[in-house]
């Protein structure tokens, strides 16, 4: 079994306590992942082992590349360099056919929900089962209705995505992500557009899933109380880098200025108002310590 190597540059103060028996097994190993779009480098040399059977929450200012990162894990984007290992397969190196097989292990809820507009909620939810399994219609019905019940959408099966609210679309996407009972679940801002009560239900659901399926989950959210409630591990993306990654408790007691500011939602600190625009050039601060990032007030 693979041990997780916590080889993270600025995050090493947090992770250094994890050694020997404390080191979790990895479900996905990301190595030196770098991605640019045109002249803009979005992710730079990201190395991260995503712990198996645990919930990892990914935080970071808008536009830092959280969604781009998730898309690399399922091969929807190819890195300029670096590797993404799921078991013994390096996702960027796979053929379409191999990729198809690897994707069966994932349940994914993307930020935009991505339901098929012309299919009703039932057919949207049933889609992965019809696509990837040989289950009978009645078996499919049982699974679909169970998942729709889980997300509170029984009664809405016949509705088209255009006829339901944003929150309901999220939950339909969630049901669809779960029908194959995946080993690995990726949620990209599952709680955006949900009211606080729905968000709490969603968090309970996530914790139930971890318990019932033992799935590895990676959740992108901006909702710090959710991170506090569900995370086992928290990673923070900031200016192309994974600036910190470690057990939740360590992150919430971290002295790192970026981590502290983000978790507290403070306006004063290294994170500015329009982060992706006013970040200094790549080479300036990509060194050993995040504290090298100049501290300044957010609004000027
Ligand atoms: N397919 C793409 N082509 C070009 N630029 C992209 C593409 N996808 C994302 N980007 C850019 O990459 C950056 C990170 O985007 P994203 O991962 O969506 O951020 P977030 O952290 O908010 O999820 C943004 O500047 C976005 O405009
Ligand atoms: Mg995003």
Above 70 in pLDDT, residue 213? Answer: yes
Q: Where are the alpha helices (DSSP H) in the chain?
A: 12-15, 66-73, 96-103, 121-132, 137-150, 166-178, 196-213, 224-230, 248-252, 257-264, 275-278, 282-285
C-beta of 241 in contact with ligand 1 (< 6 A): no
174 and 187 share a domain? Answer: no
Indicate whether 234 and 138 sit together in one domain: no
Whether the CB-CB separation of 58 and 218 falls below 8 Å is answered with: yes
Which residue from 34, 41, 61, 67 has its CB within 8 A of the most atoms of ligand 1, so it is best to mutate? 67
- State pTM to two decimals: 0.81
Scan for tokens 């250094």, then name that residue: 16
Ligand 1 atom at shortest distance from the alpha carbon of 62? 22
User: Residue 14 has what pLDDT?
Assistant: 43
Number of domains in the chain: 2
What is the reported pLDDT for 68? Answer: 95
Same domain, yes or no, for 249 and 214?
yes
**Cα–Cα distance between 227 and 287 in angstroms, integer?**
27
What integer pLDDT is reported at residue 197 of this predicted model? 83
Same domain, residue pair 122 and 58: no
43 lines ligand 1 (CB under 6 A): no
Evaluate if residue 66 carries a pLDDT over 50. Answer: yes
Do the strands 106-109 and 81-86 form a parallel or antiparallel pair, or are they unpaired? unpaired
Residue 87 per-residue DSSP state: T
Q: Is 199 inside a domain boundary?
A: yes
State whether 134 and 205 are in the same domain. no
> Is 134's pLDDT higher than 50?
yes
**How does pLDDT run across 163-201, given as a tens digit for each residue?**
998 888 888 998 999 899 899 999 999 888 778 887 888
Say if residue 194 is in the same domain as residue 293: yes
Q: Could you tell me if residue 188 is inside a domain? A: yes
260 or 297, higher pLDDT: 260
Q: Which residues fall inside 5 Å of ion ligand 2, going by CB?
A: 66-67, 111
CA of 19 to the centre of ligand 2 (A): 32
pLDDT at residue 112, rounded to an integer: 67
As a whole number of angstroms, the distance between CA 190 and CA 151 comes to 12
Q: Are residues 200 and 60 in the same domain?
A: yes
Are both 196 and 161 inside the same structural domain? no
pLDDT, tens digit (0-9, with 9 covering 90-100), for 105-129 = 999 988 766 789 899 999 999 999 9
Task: Report the candidate in 2, 8, 3 with the shortest Cα–Cα distance to residue 235.
Answer: 8
DSSP letter for 214, please: -
Q: Relative to the CA of 68, which ligand 1 atom is closest?
A: 17
**Inside any domain, residue 207:** yes
Angle made by CA atoms 100, 98, 171, in degrees to the nearest 5: 25
Q: How far apart are CA 5 and CA 71, in angstroms?
A: 23
String of b and e for 138-150 (b: at least 16 CB within 10 Å)? eebeebbbebbeb
Residue 19 tokens, joined: 């050694």
* Domain match, 196 and 170 both: no
> Do 48 and 190 belong to one domain?
yes
Residues 15-63: pLDDT tens digits? 444 444 467 899 999 999 999 999 999 999 999 999 999 999 999 999 9
pLDDT of residue 193: 74
State which H helix or E strand residue 219 sits in. strand 216-220
The CATH number of the domain holding residue 263 is: 3.40.50.300
Any idea which ligand is nearest the CA of 58?
1
Same domain, 210 and 257: yes
- Which numbered ligand comes closest to the C-alpha of 277? 1
Give the Cα separation of 21 and 263 in Å (integer): 28
Is 65 near ligand 1, meaning CB less than 6 Å away?
Answer: yes
Ligand 2 midpoint to CA 68 (Å): 7
Residue 77 lies in a domain: yes
- Residue 65: pLDDT over 70: yes
Ligand 1 atom closest to the Cα of residue 188 is: 23
Domain match, 129 and 196 both: no
Contacts of 164 (CB under 8 A, 6+ apart): 121, 156, 172
Asked if pLDDT for residue 249 goes beyond 60, the answer is: yes
CA-angle at 88, arms to 83 and 91, nearest 5°: 40
In this prediction, residue 296 has a pLDDT band, given cuts at 50, 70 and 90, of: very low
Pick from 50, 160, 186: which is nearest to 106 by CA?
Answer: 186
pLDDT at 144 over 70: yes
Residue 170 pLDDT: 85
Nearest to 66 by CA among 3, 119, 4, 110: 110
Q: Note down the domain range covering 70.
A: 12-105+182-297
Ligand 1 neighbour 62 (Cβ under 6 A): yes
d(CA 98, CA 224): 37
pLDDT at 120: 96
286: nearest Cα among 246, 236, 238: 238
């Amino acid at each position: 079994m693979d041990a997780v190597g916590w080889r993270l540059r600025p995050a090493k103060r947090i992770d250094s306590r994890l050694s020997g028996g404390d080191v979790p097994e990895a479900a996905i190993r990301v190595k030196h992942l770098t991605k640019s779009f045109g002249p803009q480098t979005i992710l730079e040399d990201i190395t991260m082992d995503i712990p198996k059977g645990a919930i990892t929450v990914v935080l970071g200012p808008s536009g830092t590349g959280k969604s781009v990162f998730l898309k690399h894990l399922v091969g929807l984007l190819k890195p300029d360099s670096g590797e993404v290992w799921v078991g013994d397969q390096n996702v960027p190196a796979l053929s379409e056919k191999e990729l198809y097989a690897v994707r069966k292990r994932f349940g994914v809820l993307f930020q935009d929900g991505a339901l098929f507009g012309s299919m009703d909620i039932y057919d949207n939810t049933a889609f992965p089962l019809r696509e990837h399994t040989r289950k009978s219609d009645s078996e499919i019905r049982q699974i679909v209705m169970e998942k729709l019940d889980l997300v509170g959408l029984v009664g809405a099966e016949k509705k088209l995505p255009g006829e339901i609210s944003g929150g309901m679309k999220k939950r339909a996407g969630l049901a669809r992500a779960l029908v194959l009972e995946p080993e690995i679940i990726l949620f990209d801002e599952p709680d955006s557009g949900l009211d606080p009560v729905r968000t709490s239900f969603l968090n309970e659901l996530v914790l139930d899933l971890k318990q019932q399926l033992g799935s590895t989950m990676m959740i992108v959210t901006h909702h710090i109380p959710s991170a506090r409630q569900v995370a086992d591990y928290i990673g923070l993306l900031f200016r192309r880098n994974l600036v910190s990654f470690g057990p939740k408790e360590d992150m919430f007691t971290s002295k790192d200025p970026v981590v502290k500011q983000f978790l507290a939602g403070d306006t004063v600190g290294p994170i500015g108002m329009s982060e992706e625009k006013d970040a200094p050039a790549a080479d300036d601060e990509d060194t050993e310590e995040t504290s090298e990032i100049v501290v300044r007030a957010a609004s000027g």
